[in-house]
Amino acid sequence: TIAELEQLEQLACEVARAAGELIVGERPERLGVAATKSTATDVVTVMDRRSEELLRTRLEEARPADGVLGEEGSATSSRSGITWVVDPIDGTVNYLYELPGYAVSVAACTGDVHTPGQWEAIAGAVLNPSTGELFHARTGGGAFLEYAGRTTRLHVTKQADLAFSLIGTGFGYDPGKRRRQAAIVLDLIPQIRDIRRAGSAAVDLCSVAAGRLDGYYESGLNPWDLAAGWVIVTEASGVVRGVAGGPPSSDLVVAGCPEQVAALSPLVDR
Ligand code: IPD
């Protein structure tokens, strides 16, 4: 129901704000790398873990029957049909270097979040603590940006011509895949206005929703990088697609207005 969707959206905003305060307010003076995950570049800090702990605890308190899937290992199963897919710090490398542009991403999802095409995000929030911007959406309710006490409705650009398109991307942490992604950039650059690699997929997707990027693509994303941004782009009249126009997956995510995605996909779908 609309009331339940509203409640999910509001809860996503609330916990994202709380986690944002934690990662900024309690950032240790000297923040080290607590561990590396898939590769040496794939880092996790102590604050990723603390932020996820806060998110999981708050969500479990508020909605005990829901599941929680998080980047840092949370994986509780759902009895309600709703699973929260959370990234406690998306853009951990930016956070580590105190480079603005990381985010807390929180999404309420339905379906099997482990199987591409079998799940979707129905409400979500992305908080960017560096700017204080909170992006949020729920299915059928529109996408919004809250900033400095003002709420603005979000719309993707209608840019269909790649030559005039500013495109965001990211590079996963797997060395082999990075090489392939770099090759795509080489081909793309002469055909587009310019490229941005900001360092947080969640922020990139919100930038598409806000019309700050015309398009975005990346391979190697996990559900937590993607979930909240997906509903936010969709509610900003954009689309988020994957391989051959199918559902977004770790193989490929392409976002923008439908015409932008149609133009960009063939160039990055390989
Ligand atoms: C990463 C960021 C980055 C993207 C990577 C993600 P993390 O998330 O979103 O922009 O290029 O693919 O893994 O690991 O910092 O949460």
CA of 1 to the centre of ligand 1 (A): 33
Domains: count for the chain: 2
For 160-200, what is each residue's pLDDT tens digit? 999 999 999 999 888 888 888 899 999 999 999 999 999 99
Indicate if 116 and 145 belong to the same structural domain.
Answer: yes
Nearest residue (by CA) to ligand 1, atom 15, is 91
Residue 135 has pLDDT above 90, yes or no: yes
- 46 and 171 fall within a common domain: no
Task: Give this prediction's pTM.
Answer: 0.96
Pocket of ligand 1 (CB under 6 A): 71, 87, 90-92, 170-172, 199-201, 218, 220-221, 225
Residue-by-residue DSSP string for 192-236:
SSEEE--S-HHHHHHHHHTTSSSEEEESS--HHHHHHHHHHHHHT
Residue 66: give the domain boundaries.
2-153
Q: Are residues 101 and 200 in contact, defined by beta-carbon separation less than 8 angstroms?
A: yes
Exposure b/e, 8-21, CB count within 10 A at least 16 = b? bbebbbebbbebbe
225 is in an annotated binding site: yes
Question: 149 burial class (0-12, 13-18, 19+ CB within 10 angstroms)?
Answer: exposed
Domain shared by 192 and 105, yes or no: no
CATH number (domain holding residue 126): 3.30.540.10
Within this chain, do residues 8 and 38 fall inside the same structural domain, yes or no?
yes
In this structure, the answer to whether residues 110 and 131 fall within a common structural domain is yes
How close is the Cα of 201 to the center of ligand 1, in Å? 6
52 and 96, same domain (yes or no): yes
Same domain, 41 and 99: yes
Question: pLDDT tens digit string along 205-217?
Answer: 999 999 999 999 9
**192 in a known ligand binding site:** no
Does residue 107 share a domain with residue 34?
A: yes
Instruction: Verify that 257 and 181 share a domain, yes or no.
Output: yes
Atom of ligand 1 lying closest to residue 48 CA: 16
